[in-house]
Structure 1
Amino acid sequence: MWYQVGIYASAQVPAILDAFAKWQNTGATDLKSTVALIIGLQTTTLGFFYSEPASKPKAFELFYDIPSLAIAIPPTNGTVNSLTQVLGSTFSNVPQRHDYRAASSKVDAQLYNDVYDFWRQEASAVHNTTGANMTFTLQPVPANLAQEGSRKGGNPMGVPTEAHQWWATLVDWTHAKDDEIVRAVPIATEKKWKELSEKRGLDVKYRFLNDASRDQNPLATYGTENLQRLKQIAIKYDPGKVFQNLQNDGFLVSKA
């Protein structure tokens, strides 16, 4: 595979979001390509990944003219293992409090920019008072994902069949006394996604389970029929409910 990771200034975020939306509608049709976009309060990380050896894949051409602060990982023809080794070394081992939150929408650059502007103002204010760090991440989901799932046996997770994005935020902070004020930002941002996307006909109700927070109900967004199928699958492969009983809580089909 081929990959490259760059670091960009916050001033470039509007251009990056515009390019990202255009890429979802054009470059993402090259199913060997994907883009990782993680926006922080200080800098933005853009990762380009191509599932076979390449040299500057054309799929990412919309991004190439956006100036970067640094190239964290230079263009590399490597393996999943070599990429994992590099990325694994970037995570902090400092114990902190964590939270996630999920939202989804159809592809739209203006929506991305408007919600980002809202999030940045709120997240910056809380960072200044608590030290909390938050990310604003858009995960591209091409129509092909659900299509291939259906072709190979079904779509029990209820992934929407049109191109869209899964928004996620990872929030890190230090003190329990700040829990409420810190968590208020991602909660408000999810509400802003819903408010603006509904007004503009861009709403996607799906919530990706891996990114959901404790008070969200992602399994409900899979649809009643899909949830029933997941329960049937669980009974078939885990009739003793070992996973349901031993798993340390979370979004379990037995509780949905």
Structure 2
Amino acid sequence: MARVIFALCYLALFWTKPALASLSEDLLNIVSINLGPSSLVNQITEVSEAIDKANEKIIDLVAPTIAQRAATSCLITNLIFDQNVHTKASPNYTEDEDINWSQTCRLPAACFIHPQSTVEVAIALKVITATGTKFSIRGGGHNPNPGFGSVDSQGVLLDLQDMKIMSIDSDGTLHAGPGHRWIDLYEFSAANNRTVKGGRTIDVGVPGFILGGGMPFFPALHGLGADSVLNYEIVLANSTVVNASHDQNPELFRALKGGGSNFGIVTRFDIQTYPLLRSQYVVNLYNSSDYLNIFQATIKVQDSMELDPKIDMYVTVTPTVVVVGMFYADWVPQPPAAFDPFYQLESLVGKMVPLTNGTVTSLAVDLGANTPQYNARLRRIPTAVTTTGDVELYIQNHEHFLKILDTVEPTFAANLSYTIQPVASTTVREGNARRGNSLGLHSIPQIWWSMVVEWADKKNDLQAQQTLNALDSNLRSIANSRDELIPFQFMNDASFMQTVLDSYGSDNLARLRSVAAHYDPTAVFQELQNDGFLLHKIK
């Protein structure tokens, strides 16, 4: 009650005329429609006068600042959710700020709002839209692009990490909240003798991975991560809650499979799982000076992937070591002959993960346990390129990579790397067989490149961006000259400097715009959302 009295006294200073609308009534309607708990009804009712005066204060101002709008959203949501709203005075504020994987995204939001349920997301979003507050949405916080899953003191951050419902039906449908990371889903599925198509990095959050398409293990077997989603529960811009599936809101369903955060806030993912998948895997380390032979081996395995959908691999190139993950979706007495080109190399310097017969879950866990811990002090930006692949393209790209390294090292400390992710044509066909997605992929063998620059000092931000642009533009130039460049850009690996959605093709872009216009006619997710791969950024 003391919080309410203080809020009313503060707001009385700005009280000038009767309310134009009752925000508290709107919030109570949301609770009622969504069968929210009586405790939430009681809380909103108790603080309703303070809620409405705070909202009317913003309405009365001729030109409220962005900061005033954010402060009002923080005030109102704090009245409703109390300790689940963290302001700069809260003991948990710094912890909230530091969750993001990259320093580039550790921004000081006006407050961090932690909804505990779908109805609380709907309430928070209603407050945000009523006050016209800039906002951002965070799942796992792994996207390193500044302003994606983060916002500065001019806005509020909706942090979904407390929303961790999880259950599985007898038919293998997994229901998961947006607060989970993939390790949760892997372990839960495995405990039920099932396999879920999730992230290759166990601490990546579920929402961003799926909404960006999602590169899982063994994509040639069941398609991308988004292809296994059966239904999305989503809060729309007007705070209504709907389901999107093949049968309900099918255009929205398709748009969410790769369309990012343009349409609403997903509060539950219903995901098809598969019988427990056995996996044989190894991750080898090779001396990068042997890049010619390594790339020749890579091409041979890529060719084999077109013949056997159980084969999966990736190649990560650093200045000194090349990391090669070789995975097979079965237990076999000897590693498949398709991997012989790598076993025959003389440049092997060690094993990050030894040859193991396990499951997809153990593969994900072993990769996580043996990957060097990330440096929390580093800043990071990625970029994504798609090409077809041959040895000459790999060689030319790598030799330019070495030249950039020579240029960068004398000027600022940075870690540069790139990953070659072969995608078999079967991956696209499997996705099409599961109702399709928004990505506009063609059923051909292709390479999804992921390039990353890491650095420590903020003063080198511009140099880092220029370095990444040089890596990106060089690969595009080489591939284009060889007629091997594919327009598609993989959202999960893309840079804020890229316009991902127009790489899906004009027809898919038009469909996405149509869906956004229908489900978000007031453009809340285009105009109030802080940043992201948003439709309004494409001219």
Report the TM-score, using the length of structure 2 for normalisation. Answer: 0.44
Corresponding residue for residue 322 of structure 2: 44
- Deviation (angstroms), 1:37: 0.5
Question: In the alignment, is the contact (CA less than 8 A) between 1:146 and 1:155 conserved in 2?
Answer: no
- Per-residue Cα deviation, 1:129-157 (whole angstroms, up to 9, x for no partner): 32200112111011111122222212421
In the TM superposition, 1:206-221 aligns within 5 A as: 206-221=488-503
In the TM superposition, 1:38-187 aligns within 5 A as: 38-54=316-332, 55-67=334-346, 68-89=348-369, 90=371, 91-187=373-469
Which range moved further: 195-204 or 41-50? 195-204
SS of alignment partner, residue 250 of structure 1:
coil
Q: Distance in 1 between matches of 2:516 and 2:361?
A: 31
Corresponding residue for residue 531 of structure 2: 249
Corresponding residue for residue 205 of structure 1: 487
- Per-residue Cα deviation, 1:6-43 (whole angstroms, up to 9, x for no partner): 11111121111111122212344211111110000121
Decide whether aligned partners of structure 1 residues 74 and 236 sit closer, same or farther in structure 2, where only a CA change above 3 A counts. Answer: farther
Question: In the alignment, is the contact (CA less than 8 A) between 2:300 and 2:338 conserved in 1?
Answer: no
Report the TM-score, using the length of structure 1 for normalisation. Answer: 0.89
Q: Distance in 2 between matches of 1:13 and 1:237?
A: 49
Question: In the alignment, is the contact (CA less than 8 A) between 2:289 and 2:320 conserved in 1?
Answer: no
- Per-residue Cα deviation, 1:158-217 (whole angstroms, up to 9, x for no partner): 123211111111211001111222222221122112222222221211111111111111
- Deviation (angstroms), 1:241: 8.2
- Deviation (angstroms), 1:243: 7.3
SS of alignment partner, residue 3 of structure 1:
strand
Q: Distance in 1 between matches of 2:526 and 2:349?
A: 46
Q: Distance in 2 between matches of 1:252 and 1:188?
A: 24
Q: Distance in 2 between matches of 1:148 and 1:189?
A: 32
SS of alignment partner, residue 61 of structure 1:
helix
Question: In the alignment, is the contact (CA less than 8 A) between 1:30 and 1:59 conserved in 2?
Answer: no
Q: Distance in 2 between matches of 1:82 and 1:217?
A: 36
The one-letter code of the counterpart of 2:361 is N
Q: Distance in 2 between matches of 1:14 and 1:246?
A: 49
Question: In the alignment, is the contact (CA less than 8 A) between 2:306 and 2:426 conserved in 1?
Answer: no
Q: Distance in 1 between matches of 2:432 and 2:526?
A: 26
Q: Distance in 2 between matches of 1:152 and 1:58?
A: 31
Corresponding residue for residue 135 of structure 2: none
- Per-residue Cα deviation, 1:43-95 (whole angstroms, up to 9, x for no partner): 11001011222231222122110131001211101122222222223232432
Does residue 32 (structure 1) correspond to residue 32 (structure 2)? The answer is no
Larger radius of gyration: 2
Decide whether aligned partners of structure 1 residues 159 and 99 sit closer, same or farther in structure 2, where only a CA change above 3 A counts. Answer: same
The one-letter code of the counterpart of 2:292 is P
- Deviation (angstroms), 1:229: 3.1
Which range moved further: 245-254 or 145-154? 245-254
**Identity between Structure 1 and Structure 2 (%):** 33
Question: In the alignment, is the contact (CA less than 8 A) between 1:38 and 1:44 conserved in 2?
Answer: yes
Does residue 5 (structure 1) correspond to residue 5 (structure 2)? The answer is no
The one-letter code of the counterpart of 1:45 is V
Q: Distance in 2 between matches of 1:241 and 1:48?
A: 44
**Partner residue of 2:476 out of 186, 194, 202:** 194
Q: Distance in 2 between matches of 1:113 and 1:192?
A: 12
Q: Distance in 2 between matches of 1:237 and 1:59?
A: 47
The one-letter code of the counterpart of 2:335 is K
Give the unaligned 5+ runs of structure 1. Answer: none
How many residue pairs get matched?
A: 256
Q: Distance in 1 between matches of 2:338 and 2:520?
A: 42
Which range moved further: 122-131 or 105-114? 122-131
Q: Distance in 2 between matches of 1:44 and 1:51?
A: 23
RMSD of equivalent CA atoms:
2.4
Q: Distance in 1 between matches of 2:291 and 2:485?
A: 22
Give the unaligned 5+ runs of structure 2. Answer: 1-278
Decide whether aligned partners of structure 1 residues 121 and 160 sit closer, same or farther in structure 2, where only a CA change above 3 A counts. Answer: same
Question: In the alignment, is the contact (CA less than 8 A) between 1:104 and 1:165 conserved in 2?
Answer: yes
- Per-residue Cα deviation, 1:86-126 (whole angstroms, up to 9, x for no partner): 22232324321100011121121101110111012202431
